[in-house]
Amino acid sequence: MTTEGLYAEFFGLRERPFTLLPDPSLIYWSPQHMRAITVLRFGLMSRAPVTLISGEIGAGKTTLVQALLKEMDEDLTVGLISNAQGGRGELLQWILNAFGLPARKDEDYVQLFQRFQDFLLKEYAEGRRVVLVIDEAQNLSSEGLEEVRMLTNINANKDELIQLILVGQPELRDIVRAPNMRQLAQRVAASFHLERLDLERTRAYVHHRLTAAGGTGDEISPEAVELIFEHTGGVPRLVNQLADFAMIYAWSGEQHVVTPKEVQSVLDDGVFFGDITIGAGA
């Protein structure tokens, strides 16, 4: 049995509750996450040219988008790219790859664009809408953002052939609001910003993750959750990291309930760096 399996079994859990990989099955639907998914759904249903979702690193943006993708209709063709970079033409290659259309070495920009436009027209003719999700969109240059905006100008019979979902860190909102991005900003028809969780929501988040993994929700004491919140600022990914370490420490000490002692031991041992991140952002 793996260490992870022993750890879960020790607490009577089916699985590890605080993994770092995005997992839609474990998503905690806080009120703001419910509003965010509603905005995403509205963007798709209303055929918004551009939908923008922003939030801190680890706020749950990627998990939210994955949850949306799982419930999408079959008449949608979805492409997903993350951390795309590069100059003119290179981004278009990323986009083509996202839809299973790898670029050929002998193709120039005009040929790449024509091939993508033909793809959009084909999908439209067959009754499918095309959605492009760009994760970590704040890493795109101004030229890159303008390039993807231009894609929303492709239309047929007054219908736009592609919808964009831009997902990124808080600075993405500032980038889109810049004067030189006015045309892109005017295309954003739906947007939402995910904030960090407060203490009450952090308590609910921890309880939800524990019960979703097969626990009672009492495997981490309320006092331990308060200390976790204090050192993570309510950022879900950081909560996961610190809670996971604390449960490992409790398991190694054969303690079936995580108390502030285990959380403090993790902090004292210097194996959790999230509080440094929080401090730097203060």
User: What per-residue confidence (pLDDT) applies to 3?
Assistant: 56
Q: pLDDT for 221-243, tens place per residue?
A: 999 999 999 999 999 999 999 99
Q: pLDDT for 35-65, tens place per residue?
A: 999 999 999 889 899 999 999 888 889 888 8
Q: pLDDT for 137-164, tens place per residue?
A: 999 988 899 999 999 999 888 888 999 9
Alpha-helix runs per DSSP H in the chain: 3-10, 31-45, 61-70, 90-98, 109-125, 142-151, 171-177, 182-187, 199-212, 222-232, 236-252, 260-269, 274-281
Cα dist from 29 to 38, 50, 143, 154, 226, whole Å = 11, 24, 35, 35, 20
Cα-flanking dihedrals φ and ψ of residue 13, to 5°? Answer: -105, 155
DSSP-derived 3-state class of residue 272: coil
User: Torsion-angle region of residue 29: left (phi > 0), alpha (psi -120 to 50) or beta?
Assistant: beta
Reported confidence tier of residue 280, pLDDT bands at 50, 70, 90: very low
Contact by Cβ (8 Å): 66, 36? no
User: What per-residue confidence (pLDDT) applies to 271?
Assistant: 92
Q: What is the pTM of this model?
A: 0.85
What span, in angstroms and rounded, lies between the C-alpha atoms of 60 and 62? 6
What span, in angstroms and rounded, lies between the C-alpha atoms of 160 and 155? 4
- Structural domains in the chain, CATH included, are 31-194 (3.40.50.300), 197-281 (1.10.8)
Q: pLDDT for 103-123, tens place per residue?
A: 888 889 899 999 999 999 999
**Tokens 């947007």 -> residue:** 191
Reported confidence tier of residue 85, pLDDT bands at 50, 70, 90: confident
